């Protein structure tokens, strides 16, 4: 895929990341307000999972596009992406 192109999933991934960004801001506020650590850790876990899911969606979409559309990508790029899963 050429630089600057987007996959069909990019808008949904962007939306998911913006939601995670809002949750992360809430976590920071919770820390500043000295909220219980268990509550903070639960919210951090939710942020972490949101990021993991966004990363997986991005990589899976990219690999699917590369492999099904006949776009030539070198194997090093594909290997590098799969290591990030």
The string of pLDDT tens digits covering residues 11-70 is 999 999 999 999 999 999 999 999 999 999 999 999 999 999 999 999 888 888 777 776
Tell whether 3 is covered by a domain: no
Structural domain count, the chain = 1
**Residue-number span of the structural domain to which 23 is assigned:** 10-83
Tell whether 1 is covered by a domain: no
Q: In the predicted model, is pLDDT for residue 2 greater than 60?
A: no
Whether 50 contacts 19, CB under 8 Å = yes
CA count, 13 A, side-chain hemisphere, 60: 9
Instruction: Count the residues in the chain.
Output: 85
Tell whether 35 is covered by a domain: yes
Tell whether 5 is covered by a domain: no
CA count, 13 A, side-chain hemisphere, 11: 1
Question: pLDDT at position 31, please?
Answer: 97
Tell whether 2 is covered by a domain: no
Question: pLDDT at position 41, please?
Answer: 96
CATH of the domain at 41: 1.20.58.1000
If one counts every other C-beta atom within 10 angstroms of the C-beta of residue 53, the result is 13
């Amino acid at each position: 895929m050429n630089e600057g192109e987007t996959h069909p999933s990019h808008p949904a991934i962007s939306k998911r990341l913006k939601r995670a960004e809002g949750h992360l801001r809430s976590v920071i506020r919770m820390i500043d307000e000295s909220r219980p650590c268990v509550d903070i850790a639960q919210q951090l876990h939710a942020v972490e999972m949101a990021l993991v899911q966004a990363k997986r969606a991005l990589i899976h979409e990219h690999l699917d596009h590369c492999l099904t559309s006949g776009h030539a990508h070198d194997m090093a790029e594909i290997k590098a992406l799969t290591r990030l899963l």
